[in-house]
Amino acid sequence: MTTLRERLREARPLLAPGVYDPLSALLAQQAGFEALYLSGGAVAYTQLGRSDVGLTTASETADVLARITDRVALPMIVDGDTGYGNALNVQRTVRAFERAGAAMIQLEDQDFPKRCGHLDGKRVIGVKEMCGKLKAALDARASDDTLILARTDALAVEGIEAAFERAQAYADCGVDALFIEALRTPADMDAACARFGPRLPMLANMVEGGKSPIQSAGELGQRGFRIVIFPGGTVRFLAAQLQRYFGSLQAHGSTLPLRDEMLDFDQLNGVIGTPELMALGARYGG
């Protein structure tokens, strides 16, 4: 089986959709994706019904991750936020996420309380402190095949040159990939990839309604990005559809108006593999 490290050596960009639970991950796998992305925002939205403002814990994300990796075999890129504390907390986070099946763990340089990278009012910690956290993460992993992705949110706070200087410092720590959050223009994206792309895989984050211009994986690959994520698109689409579903059910008292847009009982069981599961139970005398 190809590791994530091996896959990232290929020239074509890796498109990783955001997922938030085993069912969404299973559907993404069935659609043919090669890797998946679990964001802290998706955990906050779906597990807490709350905003991405640092309310989730490492154990909550690890629990979601473990349930996903129990169901699907794709490499998981996992948002570790700030590592949930100092360098020692980072090491606990890395060990927990690695045990839960993470292939790549993302760590950012925001101060606490952190917030979604496309919200205003972010703050960042010092470069020296972040480098210590990244080195702690690298030391904590049990396998070199567990990749560490360094993210900087400094562009919105200190400007693009400072963000580039931070990315350079983080690369020098020995991380496996870089993520400069919320690049504002195609020119900024090109500049980031020209500077860092020859050295490390660069990640592009596409947020519907966010600060970066939405582009396709193919377009971003041409710019030099090797990883493309749409981390919250799944939840945003789901929320819109559920608003429509619940509004229709409330208005009509029935699901019949939307029946043709739904999987029926047998179709859903086919998607999740109920016949195979029942056959397996029978094999063991269940």
The CA-atom distances, in angstroms, between 47 and each of 25, 91, 117, 196 are: 15, 24, 19, 35
List pLDDT tens digits, range 213-240: 899 999 999 999 999 999 999 999 999 9
Cα 5 from Cα 10, distance rounded (Å): 10
**What is the spatial distance between Cα 24 and Cα 15, in angstroms, rounded to a whole number?**
16
Query: Full-prediction pTM beyond 0.85?
Result: yes
* In this structure, CATH architecture of domain 4-238: Alpha-Beta Barrel (3.20)
Q: CA 249 → CA 123, 165, 245, distances in Å? A: 43, 53, 6
Whether the ω angle into residue 198 lies within 30 degrees of 0, i.e. cis, is no
| Predicted local confidence at residue 111, as pLDDT | 85
pLDDT tens profile 49-106: 999 888 999 999 999 999 999 999 999 999 999 999 999 999 999 999 999 999 999 9
Closest CA to 149 of 87, 181, 106: 106
Report pLDDT digits (tens) over 149-208: 999 999 988 999 999 999 999 999 999 999 999 899 999 999 999 999 999 999 999 989
Distance, CA of 173 to CA of 223 (rounded, Å): 25
In the chain, list all ranges with CATH 3.20.20.60.
Answer: 4-238
Kindly give the pairing relationship between strand 104-108 and strand 147-152. Answer: parallel
Q: Are the C-beta atoms of 57 and 40 separated by less than 8 Å?
A: no
User: Edge-to-edge strands of the sheet including 36-38?
Assistant: 177-180, 147-152, 104-108, 76-79, 36-38, 14-19, 227-230, 203-205
